[in-house]
Amino acid sequence: MPFKLPELPYAYDALHPHIDKRTMTIHHTKHHNGYTNKLNAAIEGTDLAKKKIEDILASVSEQSAAVRNNGGGYYNHSLFWSVMSPEGGGEPKANSKLGKAMKETFESYDDFKAQFSAAAATRFGSGWAWLCVDAKGKLFVTSTPNQDNPLMDVADQKGTPILGLDVCEHAYFLKYQNKRPNYIAAFFEVINWDQVGKRYNKVMRALAK
Ligand code: MN
């Protein structure tokens, strides 16, 4: 199987009380595991089985709905777990590359928070909110429907995501029911900014080549 379900970098109850253990368990072992298995089944025996997930997503318009939905689901959740931490929250370090870039783009952390929260709150139905780096190295906030993401050639705004928030109901319904804004607010308490900063630096290094 080319793609494997990544382990969570913390325990299922580690993000409590912001994200509860039952949601985390079901989300990882059922939803993410399901996307991973279905992606593997969809690409089995095809040329895609040898490709990196980023490359599959970049030409996803040429692929089946199964590859689009499950490839997106596999990638998006892998990123999502990695950008959260029980030691998270706060703001990016002001003297870090990401901290400086965010200050240039958003003026203030609160301005970023407002933009990202609005993207997450106004995404109708299922989808994701993202902080991304575009091809020129500029940060931007966007959202995508269902399991799409900004790496996909079908995305309205293309870029490399460095922070993502799942706003599908399965990500928050057990604890927050219909109160998506409360879930969005809780997410900011667990963002792993060191990890987001590492992703930012990696994208910028790749763009500089
Ligand atoms: Mn999900």
Query: What are the structural domains of the chain?
Result: 21-82 (1.10.287.990), 97-208 (3.55.40.20)
d(CA 82, CA 8): 8
Instruction: Please tell me the distance between residue 133's alpha carbon and the centre of ligand 1 in angstroms.
Output: 22
Instruction: Please tell me the distance between residue 31's alpha carbon and the centre of ligand 1 in angstroms.
Output: 6
Instruction: Please tell me the distance between residue 141's alpha carbon and the centre of ligand 1 in angstroms.
Output: 19
CA-based max dimension of the chain: 49
d(CA 187, CA 43): 33
Instruction: Please tell me the distance between residue 44's alpha carbon and the centre of ligand 1 in angstroms.
Output: 23
Q: What pLDDT does 31 receive?
A: 98
d(CA 32, CA 73): 7
Low-confidence ranges of the chain (pLDDT < 70): none
Half-sphere exposure of 175 (CA within 13 A, CB side): 21
Instruction: Please tell me the distance between residue 28's alpha carbon and the centre of ligand 1 in angstroms.
Output: 8
Q: What pLDDT does 1 receive?
A: 82
Instruction: Please tell me the distance between residue 146's alpha carbon and the centre of ligand 1 in angstroms.
Output: 9
Instruction: Please tell me the distance between residue 184's alpha carbon and the centre of ligand 1 in angstroms.
Output: 14
**Quick one: tokens of 85?**
């931490």
d(CA 193, CA 15): 15
Instruction: Please tell me the distance between residue 170's alpha carbon and the centre of ligand 1 in angstroms.
Output: 6
Instruction: Please tell me the distance between residue 40's alpha carbon and the centre of ligand 1 in angstroms.
Output: 18
Instruction: Please tell me the distance between residue 110's alpha carbon and the centre of ligand 1 in angstroms.
Output: 26
| pTM of this structure | 0.98
Instruction: Please tell me the distance between residue 95's alpha carbon and the centre of ligand 1 in angstroms.
Output: 33
In contact, 89 and 190? CB cutoff 8 Å: yes
The b-or-e profile of 118-147 (16+ CB within 10 A means b, else e) is ebbeebeebbbbbbbbbeeeebbbbbbebb
Q: What pLDDT does 84 receive?
A: 98
Whether a cis peptide bond, with omega within 30° of 0, leads into 86 is no
Instruction: Please tell me the distance between residue 151's alpha carbon and the centre of ligand 1 in angstroms.
Output: 17
